[in-house]
Amino acid sequence: MNTQSTPKPERIIIFDTTLRDGEQSPGATLNVDEKLTIARQLARLGVDVIEAGFPYASPGDFEAVSRIAEQVGTPDGPIICGLARATLQDIKAAADALRAAAKPRIHTFIASSDIHLQYKLKKTRQEVLAIAPEMVAYAKSFVEDVEFSPEDAGRSDPEFLYELLTVAIEAGATTVNIPDTVGYLTPSEFGALIKGIKENVPNIDKAIISVHGHNDLGMAVANFLEAVKNGARQLECTINGIGERAGNAALEELVMALHVRRSYFNPFLGRPADSEDPLTNIDTRQIYKTSRMVSNLTGMLVQPNKAIVGANAFAHESGIHQDGVLKHKLTYEIMDAQSIGLTDNQIVLGKHSGRNAFRSRLRELGFELTEQELNKAFLRFKELGDKKKEITDWDLEAIVNDEIQQTPELFHLEHVQVSCGDHARPTATVIVRTPDGQELMDAAIGTGPVDAVYKAINRVVNIPNQLIEFSVQSVTAGIDAIGEVTIRLQHEGRIFSGHAANTDIVVASAHAYMNALNRLYAVLQVGKSLHPQHDTEAVVR
Ligand code: KIV
Ligand code: ZN
């Protein structure tokens, strides 16, 4: 039984769910190494909690959570959290996966809206009122830190919600999270919901109120800020706002709103309006880098006009604005590009830089590579040095993200060659090493060079799919810039993304395609992961 009051934080707790809810975005599947790379960066960013995954989903998800728990969940690192439906087998899997974390948290949830109870869970309110505390207590038998969520709280009967939260806290939940699962509420309704919880849940002082919300109507961030004003102290968010359907509340937008408008929010946390103390623990200068990493590794592109991290967010295109900005920055800028780390793209290395300089710059950028990865990345760096005079931090990040992504490779593109021109028929020849080690060569004619390459690869790999998205972006300005290609393809209704970087965009296109095909092939080999919210047939209580 929970009798102690939970100390109230003096600032807002940032709970990042990029690796769990974010990874539930169609096509955003990450492999274990990619998840670890992102988790390390989230720790550098300063998030308080990393929701590392849903361990019961599959052996791969379990492994990712346990490796993050072991390598990122150090005593001075963030809390590592695992998601579990309110079932014995999910909670046990989460507890096992989190064993190595210094500060483990189990996050268990069960639906609370009548619509979910009737059509998804097929349970009564009474049954849910019995299951929730039983499962919170079970989670508590493994870890001290237990979070409970009534799924679809936003559409639940508030009176029932109060009762459910009361029994969950009574059973030991130290955080109660209020999800607007379908992104339905407006800011004033969300604020009122949090206020109602504070006023009507008798033991609410023993738990921290958290919020979780989706962006179906574009109101998730505004809803959270209203929730903060009414007593929420933990925000569940994702980098670039990725997540189910229209995504989750975006971490960078929440953090920068609290940062830039600190004097407005300070009084709601009981501070003087002019207090300079940060409202979150986030190192805002790591925001841009984290955004690029998540976009590259998940294949979820950031729209140019996206707040804070979009390519246009700090670009003053129009003449009037430029004139104003030159006269005084504050005429049209409410924050500095530097504050999110956007201007940290230094020219660091050149063609003659050695392995040690390369390794130490990567360390400074936060990449921990194995010897093998370092060797591969160094070779790529030398190749790039022959083509590009000045190599910047962003070029290094592009190379390293590319290398991390290519492991583990199942099909490997050994060679690609294309001939094309205004009077030639675009023709590609590829050599692909298959997972069983054979080297197969094939060729195809296409409508353009990329189409020819994709057709030639398809003849070898032979997994039916449809290309649904293709995009090229340059990493830096200049004719010698690295091009980053991101693609999405579809196979039997599921989406897979691929990403690659190269100064030759046809080569980058070929590797991006192989990358997506490898993700698809891996799923075909191991089977798909369970979805925590949609898959109920696998539940054994
Ligand atoms: O959106 C949601 O309700 C969730 C829960 C599992 C917290 O993601
Ligand atoms: Zn969610």
CATH code, 425: 3.30.160.270
Per-residue pLDDT of the chain (541 residues; tens, 9 = 90+): 555 666 567 899 999 999 999 999 988 989 898 999 999 999 999 999 999 999 999 999 999 999 999 999 999 999 999 999 999 999 999 999 999 999 999 999 999 999 999 999 999 999 999 999 999 999 999 999 999 999 999 999 999 999 999 999 999 999 999 999 999 999 999 999 999 999 999 999 999 999 999 999 999 999 999 999 999 999 999 999 999 999 999 999 999 999 999 999 999 999 999 999 999 999 999 999 999 999 989 999 999 999 999 988 887 655 556 666 667 777 778 998 899 998 666 666 777 788 888 888 888 887 878 888 888 889 888 888 888 878 888 888 888 888 776 656 789 999 999 999 888 899 999 999 999 999 999 999 999 999 999 999 999 999 999 999 999 988 877 777 889 999 999 999 999 999 999 999 999 999 999 999 999 998 888 777 899 998 876 665 6
Specify burial of residue 285 (Cβ count, 10 A radius: 0-12, 13-18, 19+).
middle
Q: Residue 20's domain is classified under what CATH number?
A: 3.20.20.70
Q: Where are the beta strands (DSSP E) in 74-163?
A: 79-85, 104-111, 145-151
Together in a domain, 71 and 217: yes
Ligand 1 atom closest to residue 109's alpha carbon, by position in its atom list = 6
Structural domain count, the chain:
3
* pLDDT tens for each residue of 421-479: 888 899 999 999 999 999 999 999 999 999 999 999 999 999 999 999 999 988 877 77
- Rounded CA-CA distance 67/75 in Å is 15
Together in a domain, 267 and 216: yes
Residues ≥6 apart with Cβ < 8 Å to 263: 273, 274
Q: Ligand 1 within 6 A of 109 CB?
A: yes
Together in a domain, 450 and 374: no
262-267: Cβ within 8 A, 24+ apart: 265/225, 265/228, 265/229
CA-closest residue to ligand 1 atom 1: 181
- Rounded CA-CA distance 51/236 in Å is 9
Q: Which residue(s) pair with 444 in the sheet?
A: 428
What's the confidence (pLDDT) of residue 319? 56
Which residue, 388, 404, 420, sits at the end of a domain?
404
Q: Ligand 1 within 6 A of 48 CB?
A: no
Pocket test for ligand 1, best of 18, 109, 237 (most atoms within 8 A of CB): 109
Which residue, 404, 428, 451, sits at the end of a domain?
404
What's the confidence (pLDDT) of residue 322? 61
Distances (CA, A) of 374 to 23, 363, 457: 27, 11, 28
Together in a domain, 42 and 162: yes
Domain with 388, as residue range(s), is: 347-404
In a domain, 461, yes or no: yes
- Please tell me the distance between residue 22's alpha carbon and the centre of ligand 2 in angstroms: 8
Q: Where are the beta strands (DSSP E) in 345-390?
A: 347-349
**Among the listed residues 498, 518, 517, the one whose alpha carbon sits nearest the alpha carbon of residue 508:** 498
Together in a domain, 390 and 448: no
CA-closest residue to ligand 1 atom 4: 181
Angle at which helices 88-97 and 125-140 cross, to 10°: 30
Pocket test for ligand 1, best of 533, 534, 535 (most atoms within 8 A of CB): 533
Pocket test for ligand 1, best of 21, 24, 108, 223 (most atoms within 8 A of CB): 21
- Please tell me the distance between residue 202's alpha carbon and the centre of ligand 1 in angstroms: 24
Q: Ligand 1 within 6 A of 21 CB?
A: yes
Q: Ligand 1 within 6 A of 55 CB?
A: no
Pocket test for ligand 1, best of 18, 108, 151 (most atoms within 8 A of CB): 151
Q: Ligand 1 within 6 A of 314 CB?
A: no
Q: Determine if the peptide bond prior to 202 is cis (ω within 30°).
A: no
Ligand 1 atom closest to residue 248's alpha carbon, by position in its atom list = 1
What's the confidence (pLDDT) of residue 274? 97
- Please tell me the distance between residue 142's alpha carbon and the centre of ligand 2 in angstroms: 24
Q: Ligand 1 within 6 A of 247 CB?
A: no
Q: Ligand 1 within 6 A of 181 CB?
A: yes
Among all bound ligands, the one having the nearest atom to the CA of 110 is 1
Phi and psi dihedrals of 89, rounded to 5?
-70, -35
Pocket test for ligand 1, best of 87, 115, 193, 212 (most atoms within 8 A of CB): 212
- Please tell me the distance between residue 129's alpha carbon and the centre of ligand 1 in angstroms: 18
- Please tell me the distance between residue 110's alpha carbon and the centre of ligand 1 in angstroms: 9
Residues ≥6 apart with Cβ < 8 Å to 156: 112, 113, 114, 150
Together in a domain, 123 and 186: yes
Q: Ligand 1 within 6 A of 148 CB?
A: no
Which residue, 404, 429, 447, sits at the end of a domain?
404
What's the confidence (pLDDT) of residue 238? 98
In a domain, 325, yes or no: no
Q: Is 361 helix (H, G, I), strand (E, B) or coil?
A: helix
Together in a domain, 364 and 417: no
- Please tell me the distance between residue 115's alpha carbon and the centre of ligand 1 in angstroms: 15
In a domain, 505, yes or no: yes
Among all bound ligands, the one having the nearest atom to the CA of 244 is 2
Ligand 1 atom closest to residue 182's alpha carbon, by position in its atom list = 1
Together in a domain, 56 and 204: yes
Together in a domain, 187 and 291: yes
Together in a domain, 376 and 418: no
Ligand 1 atom closest to residue 244's alpha carbon, by position in its atom list = 1
* H/E run at residue 508: helix 505-526
CA-closest residue to ligand 1 atom 8: 21
- Rounded CA-CA distance 484/501 in Å is 4
- pTM, whole model, 2 decimals? 0.92
For residue 259, what are its two tokens?
Answer: 């940062």
What's the confidence (pLDDT) of residue 7? 57
Backbone region of residue 27 per phi and psi (left: phi > 0; alpha: psi in -120 to 50; beta: other values): left
Residues ≥6 apart with Cβ < 8 Å to 376: 403
Among all bound ligands, the one having the nearest atom to the CA of 149 is 1
Q: Is 51 helix (H, G, I), strand (E, B) or coil?
A: strand
Among all bound ligands, the one having the nearest atom to the CA of 107 is 1
Q: Ligand 1 within 6 A of 54 CB?
A: no
In a domain, 323, yes or no: no
What's the confidence (pLDDT) of residue 440? 96
In a domain, 157, yes or no: yes
Together in a domain, 144 and 279: yes
CB 264 within 8 A of CB 451: no
For residue 104, what are its two tokens?
Answer: 């483990």
Together in a domain, 452 and 489: yes
- Please tell me the distance between residue 438's alpha carbon and the centre of ligand 1 in angstroms: 44
CA-closest residue to ligand 1 atom 2: 181
Q: How far is CA 480 from the centre of its chain?
A: 30
Q: Ligand 1 within 6 A of 184 CB?
A: no
In a domain, 198, yes or no: yes
Pairing of strands 104-111, 79-85: parallel
In a domain, 538, yes or no: no
What's the confidence (pLDDT) of residue 136? 98
What's the confidence (pLDDT) of residue 407? 58
Among all bound ligands, the one having the nearest atom to the CA of 156 is 1
Pocket test for ligand 1, best of 149, 214, 224 (most atoms within 8 A of CB): 149
What's the confidence (pLDDT) of residue 202? 98
In a domain, 305, yes or no: no
Ligand 1 atom closest to residue 152's alpha carbon, by position in its atom list = 3
- Please tell me the distance between residue 214's alpha carbon and the centre of ligand 2 in angstroms: 6
